[in-house]
């Protein structure tokens, strides 16, 4: 599977983003780890370079165009080009509709949806200059179904990720003329600290999810990273506009 290139990964400091960055570097890509979390972002870079890969860290806020442009320019200066983008930066707050503030709504929607748009708008320019490439957005099964936790769902999160699904399709249309493919991966329950690692990996959690999962285990960040790697590679050169579930069969039932 051809993977050589330079890939800009937002949210690369931890969780799925870190797994994606390490997987891509292991397959031969140079990786730009872009995140607000400086300590863990540098740690991701160091893990990659210690394993013989190529990586740099750039501090960014996906809601801020200037920081995105600065990071992209640094990547081009370091590696000469950018050929791929993974929009993995995301956030959720566990707040019910009745208690949800405008500030929380704006934070979640701005990071998850506006951030995906802003980063793609900026970095796609560099990918086009490089001759084309691919973008992969990280969505969720909650772009398709509502998952209730603690007696309520997270309407702001569902709205933001549902937007990412349609944004992916629209970007696939817009960027086709620039030889850029755009797809999304929609993870199911994944063992990360995104909400609570202890909670998601608890035996009682798996037991509660057995009625939905066809593959009886909690997903790992590497499961998502494998799908992202495929969608960035030449093996998927005739695939664009797809919202691919990586969910252990969650959406099948």
Question: Which residues are part of the catalytic machinery?
Answer: 157
How far is residue 130's CA from residue 146's CA, in Å, rounded to a whole number?
39
Contact predicate 157/108, CB 8 Å: yes
Contact predicate 153/206, CB 8 Å: no
How far is residue 117's CA from residue 124's CA, in Å, rounded to a whole number?
10
Quick one: angle between helices 38-50 and 15-26, nearest 10? 20
């Amino acid at each position: 599977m051809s993977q050589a290139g330079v890939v800009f990964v937002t949210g690369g400091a931890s969780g799925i983003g870190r797994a994606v960055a390490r997987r891509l570097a292991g397959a031969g890509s140079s990786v730009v780890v872009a995140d607000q979390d400086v300590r863990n972002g540098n740690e991701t870079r160091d893990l990659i370079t210690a394993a013989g890969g190529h990586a740099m860290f750039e501090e960014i806020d996906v809601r801020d165009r200037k920081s995105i442009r600065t990071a992209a320019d640094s990547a081009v200066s370091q590696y000469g080009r950018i050929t791929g983008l993974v929009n993995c930066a995301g956030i959720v707050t566990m707040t019910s509709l009745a208690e949800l503030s405008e500030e929380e709504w704006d934070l979640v929607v701005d990071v998850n949806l506006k951030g995906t748009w802003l980063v793609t708008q900026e970095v796609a320019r560099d990918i086009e200059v490089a001759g084309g490439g691919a973008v992969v957005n990280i969505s969720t099964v909650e772009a398709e179904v509502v998952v209730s936790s603690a007696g309520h769902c997270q309407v702001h999160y569902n709205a933001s990720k549902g937007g990412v699904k349609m944004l992916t399709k629209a970007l696939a249309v817009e960027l086709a003329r620039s030889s850029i493919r755009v797809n999304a991966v929609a993870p199911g329950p994944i063992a990360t600290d995104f909400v609570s690692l202890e909670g998601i990996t608890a035996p009682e959690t798996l037991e509660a999810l057995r009625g939905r999962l066809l593959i009886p285990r909690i997903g790992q960040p590497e499961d998502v990273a494998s799908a992202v790697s495929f969608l960035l590679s030449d093996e998927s050169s005739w695939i664009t506009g797809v919202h691919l579930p990586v969910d252990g069969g969650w959406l099948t039932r």
